[in-house]
Amino acid sequence: MSEELVKLANNTFRDISFAFANELALLADRFNVDAFELIHGANEGYPRNKIPLPSPGVGGYCLTKDPVLFSSTFDGVREDAVLGLSSRKINERAALYPFEMLKRFSNKVSIPLNEMTVLVIGVAFKGVPETTDVRGSVAVDLLHILQKKVLRVIGWDTIISNNELKNIGFDVKDNLADSVDSSHAILILNNHVKNVNSEIFNTPEKDRMIFDGWKQFDKDEVEKIKGLHYATMGYLSK
């Protein structure tokens, strides 16, 4: 029992820590403030516990279930349970944030959602350390939402095969450049280093949004390219 409690304590604490960063990002969104820049500013020169960086949701097999188990007994949810349930609620809201940005971009450029092709990059539930595990993947959850709202959802992951992406439900193309050229919006949903790829910067015929969920790109460099709109947690190009 003590070993299981240690595991639940560690994973719930991590989820709560990430939830604080993500709630801060959702607050920053009200003012169109890049949450990564905000948190870097809060951490700079302050040697106490660092605020973690935000993300488009918190996925995986453990962090999505352990805070709920931490908050429960054999009879159901504990009456005094607060933090674990709250962190799950916040991180689930953060997982929907890329879709909220997509809707905002759709309105901005006057392209209806149901005419959009969306490219999802980073389908594994995390990029670092590298894994092909899609259990609790934010990208897969988002796919199920997008399939009902947009014209087409293309998937690309540097280490997951096209056959597996097809089995999950994504459309696929032979290479990343073709996927980018076909898309109105690119949603980067994990932090694998190979997601940082120059092909993503292809100049669009009209308008394209890059949602950089883990702040892997330089916002200013993206915004220099005609037709590219940069988005991350809290921010969308004006």
Instruction: Give the three-class secondary structure for 13.
Output: helix
Query: Looking at this protein, which amino acid is placed at residue 186?
Result: I
User: Residue ranges of the alpha helices (H) in the chain?
Assistant: 2-29, 35-43, 66-70, 83-109, 138-146, 162-168, 176-181, 219-223
Distance between CA 31 and CA 228 in Å, rounded? 21
Distance between CA 51 and CA 201 in Å, rounded? 30
Query: Looking at this protein, which amino acid is placed at residue 230?
Result: Y
Q: Which DSSP symbol is given to 150?
A: S
Residues 6+ apart with CB under 8 A from 110: none
Distance between CA 135 and CA 133 in Å, rounded? 6
Q: Which DSSP symbol is given to 114?
A: G
Per-residue burial over 33-43, b = 16 or more CB atoms within 10 Å of its CB, e = otherwise: bbbbebbeeee
Identify the residue whose tokens are 């669009």.
204
Catalytic residues, which ones?
7, 62
State the helix-helix crossing angle for 35-43 and 2-29, rounded to 10 degrees: 110
Distance between CA 103 and CA 124 in Å, rounded? 24
